[in-house]
Every structure is written in C-alpha cells, then in structure tokens.
Amino acid sequence: MKLARNRRLHRFLGKTEGIFGHNAVLIGGLALPFVIMTAVSLKNAAALTISMLFSVLFGVGAGVLTRKIPVWLRYVTVTVAAMMGVTLSRLVVQHLNPEIFDSIGFYLPMMAVNSIVLVYAVERTRFSTPGRSFGSALACTAGFALTACVVGAVRELLLTGTLWGNKVFNITFPAANTVFFGFILLGFLGAAVQEVRRGITLINLRADNPTTEDLLRQQEERLVD
Amino acid sequence: MVFSRALGLTRTTMALERRFTLAVFSLSVLFMCTVSSVLGYGIRYLFSEFLPSASSFEKQVSLFLAVIVSYCLMYLLVSKLLPKFLPLFSGVISYAAFSCAVYGTLLVSAGKELDLLLSLVHGVGAGCGMVLASMLLLCGHRRLDLRDVPRAFKGMPIMLLYIGMLSLVLYGLVGHNLPT
C-alpha cells in the first residue's frame, strides 16, 4: 500500500503541532476557559492572544532558567514570571480598545495560570532544549490564537452581526454570549477538524492506491478520449 | 465554577480516569480554595487599609500571593503528613493548586467584595463544586467511552458537548432565561 501523500501530511502536521496537528485548544484541551468565556469578539480574541504570547514567553523563559530547581518550586517561579508578562501585555492590549478590560474582566490576570504555561513552561522544559521549548510553546500559542480568533469571529457575527466592530449583516443571536454556547461551538469545531483531517487522509489514500473500479473508470475515460 | 464560568476545565480534568487521582485533584482544589480565600481576604483588607487607591488590576495580581502561600502550605503539609503519596501525586497537586478554579474563586470573591465569613463559605463552596463537577465529568467520560459515538466526535469534542449540555441544564435550573 502506498502512503507517500499521507506521510507528507503527517510530516506537515508534525511540523505544525499545536496549530494544525493536535491543536492546543480543540484537541489538546488547553486554555479552554479563555476561549469559552471571553472570546466573544475578534478584538477580545486578539487581546487574549497578545496576553497569551507574553505570558507564555515569560513563563517558558523562567522555566528554562530554573530547570535545576525542584519541580514544585518551578510552578511558583513560572507562574510569577507569567504574571509579569500578563502585566506587561496590558500596556499593549489597551491600545486595541481601552474598554476591552471590561469585557475580559478577571480572565486577563488568570492568563498567568493558564494550562499552556503550566504544561510547556514547567513540564516540557525539563526534557527539551530551550529552542525546542520556545518553539513548541509558540506553536501552541499560535494554535490558541487561531482557535480563539475563529470562535471570536463566529460569536461576534452571531451576537451583533459585526466583525472587528464593522457591520456585516443584520443578525442578533444573544445566546452566543453564553457559556454553554461556547462549549457546544468548540465541540463542533473540534469534530469538524477531526473529520477534515480524516477526510484528507482518506483522499490521499485513495489517490495513492486507486481501487479496481477507479482503474476501470480511468481506462474507460482514456478510451473515450 | 466549572459549568458557569468554565474555570478549572482542562484536558487534565476531563481525561482523569482513575477515581483516586481525580479525588486527589479535586480535594487539592478544595483545600486551596478554602485556605486561599482566607488569605485573599487578608490581602484585600491590607489593600483597603494601606493602599486604598490601588487599581483593581493591582489588587487582582496581588491576590496571586494567596495562591502561592496556600500552595506552599499544602505542599508542606503533604510532605510532612503523607510523604509516601508525594512522589505519586506531586504533579496533580501542583496542577490543581495553579488551576484557574483556585485563582478564579479568589478573583470572584474579590470582585463581589465579600467579607471574611462569606469569602470562606465561597471558597469552600467553590471547592465542593469542583469535587462534584469532577465526579460528573468522570461519570460522563466513562459512559461516553462505552457508547457508539461518531468518529468525528470521539475524545475531546464529545466531552465538550457533554459539558455544554450540563452547563445549559444548570443555567436553566438556576433560573436564568435565555437572552432575547
């Protein structure tokens, strides 16, 4: 059985782990509260992404520098460093929209204890080189950004019919602001991603290994031509 | 906390299959919520006495100190009283201590400006809620594993849908109406 296309697909997914391969939020289940509760608009999603980037960079940096200390103490140093990153990110986020802090609320300081920081800064830095630790953490942040932006865009369109504050169409679906809608939307998005991946794998398998019916059909088409 | 604010919800919470590990996780969260709520009240009191002009973000960041102190206290207690369990569950305890549920509980009680007794009750209640939610998630996880779930929904998607349904049920039970 030929698997050349699927091997290429797996290599691509391996290189983009955290983004397309094993997405951090949809498949990994990391940083769910922020996407579910606060990603209700594209601006909120952008603000969350900036805060996540700062907290992950500072957290992983602290994790790399404190590899020699006991693990239980590393949780403290990493989260304190992540909190410093979140505090700095506030200066950048307020340029997006000063009112954004009202909608994000206390989920902004909570970025310091998000699961991406805990997993990638404490656990993964123990066994990887600093370059790899930063690379995988940034890939995970990109996966979070992609998911948060898609969820934020969909919810903003459904809630107010706008995208980044610009009117697109007249629609209001206030239930899109609720927490259960966030859970259900993420569940369906995750299922869609899994199904798309499975579909692409099947298409590649069929293309590499045509069945007898496919070969006969191709022969008939050549004869007709 | 879990179903109304999505706090304390990660793959770890949803994928825990052993009852004992889940019990350790949720009891750690209960301890942390209880102790940190008292310490958090103390920090809020100090702010109101000595730094009344501090911004809400500064107060929220300072409340993180309560989480760190509670975590160190819990780690010390476990290492002294249950040293055999420490190597097995130190990761679970640390993960539970620095989960969004614990810090979120502190921030919610700070936002509502609860007094000492109400903060303590809120912390204990949030911790008990986490224990209950963990049990519901474990039951759901086990039942969904045995069901014939469509391939696309296997794993995280079906768990998210299950939690979404539970959240909707509790939303209605509490008395909220769907926004119109």
Q: Has residue A149 got a pLDDT over 90?
A: yes
Chain B: nearest CA to A223, how far in angstroms?
40
pLDDT in tens, A88-101: 988 888 877 777 77
Q: Which residues of B touch A113 (CB under 8 A)?
A: 67, 98-100, 102-103
Q: Has residue B14 got a pLDDT over 60?
A: no
Could you tell me the CA-to-CA distances from A181 to A92, A139, A163, B3, B166 in Å, in that order? 29, 27, 19, 12, 11
Q: Which residues of A touch B43 (CB under 8 A)?
A: none
Q: Which residues of B touch A109 (CB under 8 A)?
A: 57, 60-61, 64, 103, 107
Q: Which residue of B has its CA nearest to A83?
A: B61
Q: Distance (Å, rounded) from C-alpha B71 to C-alpha B99?
A: 11
pLDDT in tens, B25-79: 888 888 999 999 999 999 888 888 888 787 878 888 888 999 999 999 988 888 8
Q: Has residue B95 got a pLDDT over 90?
A: no
A70-74, A145-149, A181-185, range with the lowest pLDDT: A70-74
Q: Distance (Å, rounded) from C-alpha B97 to C-alpha B52?
A: 29
Question: Contact A75/B167, CB-based, under 8 Å?
Answer: no
DSSP, collapsed to helix, strand or coil, labels residue B61 as: helix
* Cβ–Cβ under 8 Å, residues A119 and A30: yes
Q: Has residue A151 got a pLDDT over 90?
A: yes
Pick B6's closest partner by Cβ from A27, A32, A90: A32
* Cβ–Cβ under 8 Å, residues A96 and A160: no
- A162 bridge partner residues: A167
Q: Distance (Å, rounded) from C-alpha A28 to C-alpha A190?
A: 10
**Among the ranges A99-103, A146-150, A213-217, B83-87, which has the highest mean pLDDT value?**
A146-150
Q: Which residues of B touch A28 (CB under 8 A)?
A: 11, 156
* Cβ–Cβ under 8 Å, residues A36 and B3: no
Q: Output the average pLDDT for chain B.
A: 84
> What is the band of B4 on the pLDDT scale with cuts at 50, 70, 90?
confident
Question: Contact A109/B57, CB-based, under 8 Å?
Answer: yes
Chain A: nearest CA to B4, how far in angstroms?
6
Q: Which residues of A touch B14 (CB under 8 A)?
A: 29
What pLDDT shows up at residue A185?
93
Q: Has residue B11 got a pLDDT over 60?
A: no
Question: Contact B160/A110, CB-based, under 8 Å?
Answer: no
What pLDDT shows up at residue A54?
92
Please state the separation of Cα A224 from the chain's center in Å.
49
Residue scoring higher pLDDT (A25 or A158): A158
> What is the band of A145 on the pLDDT scale with cuts at 50, 70, 90?
very high
A140 CB-near residues (< 8 Å, 6+ apart): A18, A24, A28, A30, A56, A116, A120
Q: Which residues of B touch A188 (CB under 8 A)?
A: 157, 161
Question: Contact A191/B180, CB-based, under 8 Å?
Answer: no
What pLDDT shows up at residue B178?
63
ipTM of the complex model: 0.85
Question: Contact A188/B151, CB-based, under 8 Å?
Answer: no
What pLDDT shows up at residue B20?
79
Domain boundaries along the sequence of chain A: 17-185
Residue appearing with tokens 């299950």: B162
Nearest to B119 by CA among B52, B55, B37, B59: B37
- A17 bridge partner residues: A21
Share of chain A above pLDDT 70, in %: 99
A19-28, A191-200, B75-84, B160-169, range with the lowest pLDDT: A19-28
Tell whether B100 lies on the interface with A, counting CB pairs under 8 A. Answer: yes
Q: Distance (Å, rounded) from C-alpha A14 to C-alpha A103?
A: 36
pLDDT in tens, A39-91: 888 988 999 999 999 999 999 999 988 888 888 888 899 999 999 999 898 88
A79 CB-near residues (< 8 Å, 6+ apart): A59, A112, A113, A117, A118, B64, B68, B98
* Cβ–Cβ under 8 Å, residues A49 and A141: yes
Dihedral, B94, B98, B100, B102 alpha carbons, nearest 10: 90
What pLDDT shows up at residue B10?
67
Instruction: Specify the length of chain A in residues.
Output: 225
Q: Output the average pLDDT for chain A.
A: 85
